[in-house]
Amino acid sequence: MILYQLAFELANQKPTWLQRIPQQIEAILKQNTIAQIAQTLKDTRSLILIGSGMNTAIALEGALKLKEASYTHAEGYAAGEFLHGPIALLDPQIPTIAIHPETARKTIDRIRANQNPVIEIPIASIPELFTPFLTIVPLQLLAYELAILRGIDVDRPRNITKSLTT
């Protein structure tokens, strides 16, 4: 009930944001940007993903999708926490993908100051509450495009069992 109430409250407060999301997803799908990024990452074996706020979970999920679909070693981090230890992992062969970079600018600037590559995944300007709907799409596309470039069957990833156990 609480989730329904929250959904109705959000819909009543910002109906135009919710109504725009399908069109914004469609715009992301029509862009060729993700395919181009995948081409540049084709031979990359490791990636770091950073997100801030609600998009920290998207960084973790994006890393999981990259592992499952493209067999790329990927780790997701909260942008702020990344500066307190994991930043030591950086080297020029490990690109960082910044999700919704507007909220992680300090971390991105620090990574670039160390001469490490950062790929920014920008999205339309919407309230942060709604950004996960848009930020996950490019990461799923990236995992898919990398898998295709590497000749991996995205419908049958190795060692993955898609069943539930109790």
pLDDT tens string, the chain, 166 residues long: the values are: 888 887 777 777 655 777 888 888 998 888 888 999 999 999 999 999 999 998 999 999 999 999 999 999 999 999 999 999 999 989 889 999 999 888 889 999 999 999 999 999 878 788 888 889 899 999 999 999 999 999 999 888 888 776 656 6
Confidence (pTM): 0.85
The 3-state secondary structure of the chain reads: CHHHHHHHHHHHHCHHHHHHHHHHHHHHHHCCHHHHHHHHHCCCCEEEEEECCCHHHHHHHHHHHHHHHHCCEEEEEEHHHHCCCHHHHCCCCCCEEEECHHHCHHHHHHHHHCCCCEEEECCCCCCHHHHHHHHHHHHHHHHHHHHHHCCCCCCCCCCCCCCCCC
Residue ranges and CATH numbers for the domains of the chain are 68-124+136-150 (3.40.50.10490)
